[in-house]
Amino acid sequence: MTEIIFATNNAHKLSEVQAVLGEGFRLLTPRECGICEDIPETQPSLEGNASQKAHFIYDRTGRNCFADDTGLEVYALDGAPGVHSARYATDGHDFEANNRLLLKNMEGITDRRARFRTVISLILDGREYLFEGRVEGRIAEEPSGAEGFGYDPLFIPDGYSKSFAEMSAEEKNEISHRGRAVRKLVEFLRG
């Protein structure tokens, strides 16, 4: 069993990633490794934030770890909320407020194309590797579904008529940005 620290304390993210990683890997949280302070995310890009978070964990533990950063990029909003997705409406992770603000900012806009992008920074034996996953889709007129988290109730992936929040975890992981990035990570780790 390979243990690796995943730089998140978000239970939804942890279970999504563990499901894709499968057997043979055990994810540890920063708290389990004695890190209780907030992990910084002050970079202007998803790549920068993922790297910053992974280095923060590695510098404190010296153990193999990875971190991700995810953003919803709406084409008509010049890529917003992007790197600010989790804190779009407030300083905290208020998913409902973020969704309300996004819908308000999309009022009157007919081009509803958007994409989710996840970047993972892996630090393995002191070397950094980056992996990216993306999924194209569109923003719904109103939220639907109760699964997932974040913008899932508003995001409808291309080729589907339902939002991420209306999909089972297995169905979402099969096509999601995070699932795609994690599969690249797993392929690399098993390679």
How many Å apart are CA 124 and CA 58, to the nearest integer? 9
Separation CA 89–CA 86 (nearest Å): 8
Q: How far is CA 145 from CA 98, 100, 153, 177, in A?
A: 16, 15, 6, 19
State the SS3 of 42-68: CCCCHHHHHHHHHHHHHHHHCCCEEEE
**Identified catalytic residue from 69, 78, 111, 152:** 69
User: Pairing between strand 2-6 and 113-124?
Assistant: unpaired
Question: Whole-angstrom Cα distance, residue 6 to residue 63?
Answer: 11
Q: With contact defined as beta carbons under 8 Å apart, do 152 and 163 qualify?
A: yes
Determine which helix (DSSP H) or strand (DSSP E) holds 187, and give its type and residue range: helix 177-190
Told to judge if 69 belongs to the known catalytic residues of this protein, a careful annotator would answer: yes
The secondary structure of residue 96, as a DSSP letter, is H
Residue 165 carries which side chain, given as an amino acid letter?
Answer: A
Which residues are marked as active site? 69
